[in-house]
Every structure is written in C-alpha cells, then in structure tokens.
C-alpha cells in the first residue's frame, strides 16, 4: 500500500500540512476530499516526489520510494500537462517509453486506452484539436499507459460530462478490482466520491479531520434523524416528547429523535395532522458529513 506518515509542509507562514497520515491499500479506491487550500494537492505532490516534505515520509509496500518505484506510479495533476502540439498517439507512446515500456507494447496499450476511454478523434490529431473533455480523457490515458501500480489523480472528473464521468469511474473501478491498483483521487463531487470510493479521507486546514468507510463515518456521527412529509399543518411534532425539529421546508420536516422517542408516535402525530407523503429514517450523505466535520 501507499503510506503517508506524519507529513508536515509549510510555505512561508502558511501551514499546508500538519501531521497528515493515511494509507491507500492496493485494490482500493480512496477519496481525498477537503475545501480549496486544505492541503490535498500538496500531499499528493509529496507522495509523487514533486514536492518534498519538511518532516514525515512516504512509503510504498513498506519501503522508501525511489525513482525506480515512482516509475510505476501514474499521476494526473489538476493542471493538465500534455504537450498541445504533439499528436495524441505519439505523445502517449512517448510517455509510456519514458516509463520503460517497450515500443510495441506502448503503442498497443495506447490504442487500447483510447478505445476504453472513448477518446473521440483521430489518434494522429494534435492534443490542442481535441475538445476539453477529450483532452481530459487523454490525460487519464497518460496516467494509465504504463500500467501503474498506483494512481494519484487530482480532480480527474473536472470538466467531464455525465457520460465521461461514468466512463472514467468504470475505468478506475476496473483498475482497482481487476488489476489490484491502489487509487487515490481528490474531487469536489462528493456524490461521486460516495458512490465510487471504498474509503474516504477528509482533510481540513492541513490536518486529517476524519477517515474511514462511508458507513464508519456515518456511525461515528450517528444522529437519529427522520424525514417526514405531510400535507397538512406545521408544528404537529410538538406533541411528541423527545423530538427536535432540525429543518422545516414547505411540509417537509427533518426531526431529531432522542433515544427515548418512539418513531411510531411521530408517525401517529403526522397522520393526525394530514396526509403522510413520506416517512423514514435519514442517512447522512458524504456532503452532510463533510459539512459537519469542517464546520
């Protein structure tokens, strides 16, 4: 696995990382989320050797990372870095050859990836002639072309349409499940992170604020929340002991129930107020968990 161990990094007076530690196991997809400027990109660049840490270290499979090991990593920076004047096929083959892939295999792998990622256009077109979405797909192909053991992706879904998002998500899932690739990516699309990732790491102001599976994060911040939609009057919940309204919006109320409160009494009170359109326990989304953690 990839291990980030007690990483510290400052830029002048700005503390970018303050004791960041987490792991990315092989065959797993880890979402790395946080507000802008929280430290995500800095941590990723240190993992790839683009930046150095002031303190702490990074390990792969339990050993320090050297240049030979890094050649087996794939990286997709947030600032896209393909050469715009180079042709798509030529560029991807060139990048694979830099990582030690034989020429014939590099060409075959490039053609395979362009098909899998559904890059529209002639492989002999220049990068700059592609649409932004297709440039994004070509950039991912550049991270995958040498068949890496680790993928580090900074906002890989930015700028993709829904079809492109689904294609990329499917590729990452196959790389992890079928090839045992360790995948870590940052994204502000929290619904996608929730759907795609095995584990999530939340960073805030350079520190890890929470980490674990979505279910574990939910359990750690469990609240007995119920959503009720009633076509009728407001305030009907006041007759039920141990019930606190969290939000009220045009007939839809979210209630937090104390341990002693009985959901059936809440339902009975709702029925007495009008037609019950929906009634059920709520599960916190990753976006809601994120807001609670960084609030």
pLDDT tens profile 157-178: 988 889 889 999 999 999 999 9
Q: What is the full DSSP assignment across 222-259?
A: ---EEEEEEEE-S-GGGGSTTEEEEEEETTEEEEEEPT
Q: In the listed set 219, 252, 268, which residue is the last one of a domain according to the structure?
A: 219
Q: Say yes or no: 133 and 248 in one domain.
A: no
3-state secondary structure 32-83: EECCCCCCHHHHHHHHHCCCCCCEEEEEECCEECCHHHHCCEEEECCCCCCC
Write down the pLDDT at residue 282.
84
Total-model pTM? 0.83
Q: Say yes or no: 104 and 173 in one domain.
A: yes
Write down the pLDDT at residue 295.
66
The CA distance from 156 to 217, in Å, is 24
Q: Say yes or no: 225 and 177 in one domain.
A: no
Q: Say yes or no: 78 and 42 in one domain.
A: yes
**Residue 172: closest CA among 202, 200, 140:** 140
Write down the pLDDT at residue 161.
87
Q: Say yes or no: 199 and 255 in one domain.
A: no
Its domain, for residue 244, covers 221-294
Exposure b/e, 123-132, CB count within 10 A at least 16 = b: bebbbeebee
Write down the pLDDT at residue 140.
92
Q: Report the pLDDT averaged over residues 62-80.
A: 90
pLDDT tens profile 171-207: 999 999 999 999 999 998 898 999 999 999 999 999 9
Q: Say yes or no: 49 and 160 in one domain.
A: yes
Q: Which helix (H) or strand (E) holds 130?
A: none
Mean pLDDT for the chain? 91
pLDDT tens profile 132-156: 888 989 999 999 999 999 999 999 9
Q: Say yes or no: 191 and 230 in one domain.
A: no
The CA distance from 226 to 224, in Å, is 7
In CATH, what number is assigned to the domain containing residue 124? 3.40.50.300
The CA distance from 172 to 59, in Å, is 22
In CATH, what number is assigned to the domain containing residue 252? 3.30.70
Do 210 and 203 touch, CB atoms closer than 8 A? no
Tokens of 165: 């998002």
The count of domains in the chain is 2
**Residue 169: closest CA among 146, 192, 143:** 192
Q: Say yes or no: 32 and 169 in one domain.
A: yes
Q: Say yes or no: 98 and 237 in one domain.
A: no
pLDDT tens profile 85-137: 999 999 999 999 999 999 999 999 999 999 999 888 889 999 999 888 889 89
Q: In the listed set 178, 194, 219, which residue is the last one of a domain according to the structure?
A: 219
The yes-or-no verdict on residue 7 having pLDDT over 70 is yes
Q: Say yes or no: 125 and 80 in one domain.
A: yes
Q: In the listed set 219, 243, 270, which residue is the last one of a domain according to the structure?
A: 219
Q: Report the pLDDT averaged over residues 29-57.
A: 94
CA angle 268/279/237 to nearest 5° reads 50
The CA distance from 21 to 133, in Å, is 33
Q: Say yes or no: 155 and 11 in one domain.
A: yes
Q: Say yes or no: 232 and 131 in one domain.
A: no
Strand order in the sheet with 243-249: 243-249, 252-257, 225-232, 274-281
């Amino acid at each position: 696995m990839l291990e980030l161990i007690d990483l510290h990094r400052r830029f002048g007076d700005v503390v970018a990382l303050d004791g960041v530690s987490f792991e990315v196991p092989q065959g797993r997809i880890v979402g790395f989320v946080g507000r802008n400027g929280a430290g995500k990109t800095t941590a990723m660049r240190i993992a790839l050797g683009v930046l150095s840490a002031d303190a702490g270290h990074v390990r792969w499979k339990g050993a320090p990372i050297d240049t030979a090991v890094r050649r087996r990593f794939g990286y997709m920076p947030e600032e896209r870095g393909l050469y715009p004047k180079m042709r798509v096929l030529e560029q991807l083959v060139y990048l694979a050859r830099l990582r030690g892939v034989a020429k014939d295999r590099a060409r075959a792998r490039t053609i395979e990836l362009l098909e899998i990622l559904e890059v529209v256009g002639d492989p002999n077109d220049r990068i700059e002639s592609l649409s932004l979405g297709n440039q994004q797909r070509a950039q991912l192909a550049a991270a995958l072309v040498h068949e890496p053991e680790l993928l580090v992706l900074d906002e890989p879904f930015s700028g993709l349409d829904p079809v492109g998002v689904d294609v990329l998500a499917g590729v990452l899932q196959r790389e992890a499940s079928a090839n045992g690739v360790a995948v870590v990516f940052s994204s502000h699309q929290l619904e996608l992170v929730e759907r795609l990732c095995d584990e999530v790491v939340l960073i805030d102001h350079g520190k890890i604020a929470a980490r674990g599976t979505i279910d574990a994060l939910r359990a750690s911040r469990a609240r007995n929340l119920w959503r009720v939609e009633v076509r009728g009057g407001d305030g009907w919940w006041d007759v039920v002991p141990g019930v606190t309204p969290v939000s009220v919006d045009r007939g839809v109320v979210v209630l937090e129930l104390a341990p002693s409160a009985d959901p059936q009494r809440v339902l009975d009170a709702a029925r007495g107020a009008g037609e019950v359109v929906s009634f059920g326990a709520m599960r916190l989304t990753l976006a809601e968990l994120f807001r609670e953690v960084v609030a």
